Structure formats: C-alpha cells, structure tokens
Structure 1
C-alpha cells in the first residue's frame, strides 16, 4: 500500500487563488494546485491490512460539515525556512475532527503524532532559501485571505514516496454530515 494520510480537499476556486501566490522565491518547489490540501493525520507507509483497517475505521466517524478560511502566509523553520504555508482559520470542530483521527490511528497501533496540530495548506517546500528572501515574500503577499468554504467531507489520500509527496490520490471519501 502506498503512503497514506487523511485530509480535507481545497476547492478548485480556492486552489486557483493560491496559485496566484506562486513565484518570487528562488529554489522553492511549489505545490501543484491539484495537490493543495489540509492534512488531518499523516499515517505513513503501511501494509494492505493496516490500510484496510484505517479505511474501515474512518468510515465510523460521524461529524458535521463546517466552514473554514485560509488567512495569511507563514513559514515553517524560522531561521532555516523549510516550507511556506497558508494558515487555516477554522472553528474548533476542525481540531476535534483531527483529534478523532489521531485517536483512531493510535487505536490500531500507529505511533502518536509527535507535533502539535497546526492546520495549514503548504504552498512551497524550501531548500537553502535565504530567510530574507522568505521574509520579503511574506511581506509582499502576506495579506492573503480566501473566501470561506465548506468542508463537506474528509478523504484518505495516498501519495508516492518522493520529494514533495504528490501527486496525491483520493483512495476513499467520507462525508461530513
């Protein structure tokens, strides 16, 4: 089974607006618009049995749909920038949905996620990019704000083992009621 993770899809119109933020950072590897997403839980490389168990357990989740927005720009890595991302502004139901994914993955024996959950959409991955270049980029484009959009389902994504991960494939979709 390929590398798996759960997430929320980004509507095409929001993806189009994110595309306008691409460029201006030498050496950045920009995420393709069809691969924009909000990760809920990274699962990793698992065998087919575990993959089927994950897919089945996700089907038991019963949560309501909700609205969210993408607001601003930021960077992971501080003085050694690793990624440019757009933070997600969402109600607490997003954190509750993510926490349920975390509990289910631990229930089937996966290790707990080691980092605090910070919902975001990755725009670019960086390698040896000068912090000043990133700061200039953020200053020029940091006022980005998407219109609100509805999360009406979450999905189980797969990806190939490569630098940057994409392209991502929806393996299963689960409605938010």
Structure 2
C-alpha cells in the first residue's frame, strides 16, 4: 500500500536499516473501510483498477508516515507522487474504455466492509509482461 522505492532484499546496509526501522513500528489494531473503485492511468489510458482502502483513516496515515520515515533513515528517497491507499484488483491491457466506464460506474459506491489491521509487511511487486 505504500511504495518505498526499489530495494535489493538481501543483507545490504539500506535493507538492514529499513528492516530494523520497520520492525520498530508499533500500533494497536484498528479497522479500515474497503470502499469505492477507481483507476490509475499511464499515458492517458487506464492501467490499474483498484478498490479504495481507509478513506483518509488517521491510523493508516500515521503508519504510512512512519514507513516513509523508516525509508528515509535507510537512505531511500521518498515517493513523491500522492499516496492513494488501495488494493489492486486488475491490470488493464486492451480493455474497451466503455466497458471499464460501465464497471466503474456500477461499482462507484462499492462498500466491501471493514478489515482488521494488526500488522503490516514489506513485500516486492514486480510487473512482468504477463502481468
């Protein structure tokens, strides 16, 4: 849910510092709303379809702030794009714009309930030609 830049996940110094700083982040469990759908665009075309997470939830934004501070402490430059917490549900390739608009309109008010947040994890997401 938060990009912290490209990392080499081995025993290199920045990764060790990042893991140490991230493991020190503590918070109490809380619930996040999962609602709404949208898209991220690239070169004027929709590339990602997502479900919204958190709706400006203060606990989520506090965790994001602390993750960014940990990344800075590890020498990783911060992500400068606006942060939009989300769950990616699809990557678009050759999707008819009218079909996507229809889907987005039909699901604009989607309410998928709440999820309980007790922890967070660092993972790597690699985009390949296959998706």
TM-score above 0.5: yes
State the shift of 1:127 in Å: 2.3
* Unmatched tracts of structure 2, length 5 or more: none
Q: Per the alignment, in what secondary structure is the counterpart of residue 81 of structure 1?
A: strand
Does the CA contact (< 8 Å) of 1:83 and 1:125 recur in 2?
yes
Give me the TM-score of the superposition, normalised by structure 2.
Answer: 0.82
- Residue 17 (structure 2) pairs with residue 71 (structure 1): no
- Residue 53 (structure 2) pairs with residue 88 (structure 1): yes
Please give the alpha-carbon distance, in whole angstroms, between the structure 1 residues aligned to 2:118 and 2:130.
24
Does the CA contact (< 8 Å) of 1:80 and 1:128 recur in 2?
no
Which of 46, 57, 60 matches 2:21?
57
Which of 75, 93, 98 matches 2:64?
98
> Relative to total residues, which structure has the larger strand share, 1 or 2?
1
Q: Per the alignment, in what secondary structure is the counterpart of residue 157 of structure 1?
A: coil
Does the CA contact (< 8 Å) of 2:39 and 2:47 recur in 1?
yes
Please give the alpha-carbon distance, in whole angstroms, between the structure 2 residues aligned to 1:127 and 1:112.
29
2:107 maps to 141
State the shift of 1:65 in Å: 1.8
* Unmatched tracts of structure 1, length 5 or more: 1-38, 167-177
1:119-147 CA deviation, whole Å, 9 max, x = no partner? 01111111243322210111233332122
